[in-house]
Structure 1
Amino acid sequence: MQLTFLKKQFIGALALVAFSSFSIAATADKATVENITKKLNTLEISVNSINPAVVDGLYEVLTNRGVYYVSKNAQFLVHGNVYDLDNKMENVTEKSLTVLRQNKLKAFEKDMIVYKAENEKHVITVFTDTSCGYCQKLHAEMADYNNLGITVRYLAFPRGGLNSNTYNTMVSIWCAEDPKLAMDQAKSRKQIDSTSCKNTVKAQYELGQFFGVTGTPALVLEDGSLQPGYLPADRLIKLLEQKKG
């Protein structure tokens, strides 16, 4: 049976449901895991984990494209955030992702292009695209972030995908003898030397998809939360201090 995607109206309705019961099984049974995995694989979606969701009858599926909620028979799929109305509108989906993002980023630390603050107070990870106007704006204001104690770590997210010119540019940056200099030049719209090497740009892009990144810049904060879009340094430091408590 062909996988049926629920319409946005239903997704919105689901997000506003008050969940009365959270008594769910600890793990999904083998048959359900195999059924859901097989169906999603036909859509070229790779499954990382499957567990019963807080919504009766649905399973929370962590994939290479983010979080989905899938029915036991793998006929229905919901893509969107689930909120707990009995717990101050807590975003259950985001809660699942925050810890996961923190853990996943650790494996990419050696691949990041880092602009370190001298008096470091906060560290953010930015999924960036050299052709993105707001990414260029953020980069031009790097001194403002660093002066406020914010270290910026870059990962690549070419919005046009793996066959785009930007992807090739970002490979050249990560393969450059001086990646920071190459990044500076590319963000200033200067031509950089084309080069290639063994690199993780594709893996970085796929990580961004897994995190739920759909545009750039996308900021992953220290608590694992995802902040889409550009924020000037003065607003970002307030947000970081607020989260730090």
Structure 2
Amino acid sequence: MNLMKTALMATTLLVSLTINAQEATIRKNLAERVPQLPAIDEITKSPMPGLFEIRVNGSEIYYTDAKGDFLVNGSLIDTRQRRNLTEERVEKLTAINFDALPLKDAFTTVNGNGKRKMVVFEDPNCGYCKRFEQDLQKVKDVTVHLFLYPILGADSVEKSKNIWCAKDKAKSWQDWMLREKVPASASCDTSAVARNVELGRKYKITGTPTLIFADGSRIPGAINADQIEQHLAERKN
């Protein structure tokens, strides 16, 4: 039994040393040959034999061989299960802890019983956001926490501040997004708007709308009512 245990430990150590050597080779060769590649965060074996996953900038995925002789920028597809493994991996890497989001810096709208929950980051001057808001009205039984995320310029910041300072934030928002009624000038503590921009940068939210569901998954871009329903049904805590 002791001999078997010793052999197993030796095998494990050998595998670990081999993996470490391969990682060192990949890092060295890619740094020398592809200097424009951002610093590598992590190297792991991919589900495809002989292929390694390279992770950079937190959630960007590349693939390479054990020597770093080739670099692949694209999706790895499992044809047997018909799954986009790269997409699933990025989704996992970019997931957000829904319960940790600072909802005090958002305002809330409830449709129906509100039993389903989602978060949305939106800019008041975003045309896609306005289209999204039209579709969102058709989704029943949902609570939406909306973070004003003015990234399209000074006018977006001004409108966001006026909406945040309105007596009824949700009404002011919907009046503008659905009915083109410009938010009335208002003043109050608008530090929440600035915090939202920092929060979005932290989570690398680069466009609006960005949707976040209760399981932490996110969808960048406008989707229609049927797609919202599908994601709410599939992505529960």
Give the TM-score normalised by the residue count of structure 2: 0.60
2:211 is the alignment partner of 1:219: yes
8 Å contact kept, 1:169–1:194 = no
2:57 is the alignment partner of 1:67: no
| SS of residue matched to 1:153 | strand
2-structure distance, mates of 1:207, 1:236: 25
**Once the two structures are aligned, what percentage of the paired residues are identical?**
22
2:50 is the alignment partner of 1:51: no
Report how far residue 176 of structure 1 moved: 4.4
2-structure distance, mates of 1:171, 1:79: 41
8 Å contact kept, 2:165–2:186 = no
Q: Which residue of 2 aligns with 1:138?
A: 132
2:197 is the alignment partner of 1:197: no
Report how far residue 143 of structure 1 moved: 4.2
2:100 is the alignment partner of 1:110: no
Q: Which runs of 5+ in 1 are unaligned?
A: 1-22
2:176 is the alignment partner of 1:186: yes
How many residues are treated as equivalent by the alignment?
203
Bigger CA radius of gyration: 2
Q: Which residue of 1 aligns with 2:4?
A: none
Q: CA RMSD in A?
A: 4.5
Structural mapping, 1:1-245, within 5 Å: 50-54=41-45, 56=51, 59-63=54-58, 66-67=59-60, 69=62, 81-84=75-78, 88-98=82-92, 100-103=94-97, 106-140=100-134, 142-145=136-139, 148-160=140-152, 163-187=153-177, 188-189=179-180, 190-193=182-185, 195=187, 197-199=190-192, 200-207=195-202, 210-211=204-205, 213-214=206-207, 216-243=208-235
8 Å contact kept, 1:158–1:166 = yes
Report how far residue 204 of structure 1 moved: 3.6
Compared CA separation, residues 192 and 201, structure 1 to 2 (3 A): farther
1-structure distance, mates of 2:224, 2:106: 21
Compared CA separation, residues 108 and 185, structure 1 to 2 (3 A): same
Compared CA separation, residues 52 and 85, structure 1 to 2 (3 A): farther
1-structure distance, mates of 2:158, 2:112: 32
Deviations 1:19-70 (A, max 9, x none): xxxx966xx88xx7xxx9xxx9x99x9x9x922244556531344xx53549
| SS of residue matched to 1:230 | coil
Give the TM-score normalised by the residue count of structure 1: 0.58
8 Å contact kept, 2:94–2:218 = no
Report how far residue 227 of structure 1 moved: 2.9
Report how far residue 159 of structure 1 moved: 4.6
2-structure distance, mates of 1:57, 1:241: 34
8 Å contact kept, 1:218–1:228 = yes
Q: Which runs of 5+ in 2 are unaligned?
A: 1-17, 65-69
| SS of residue matched to 2:144 | strand
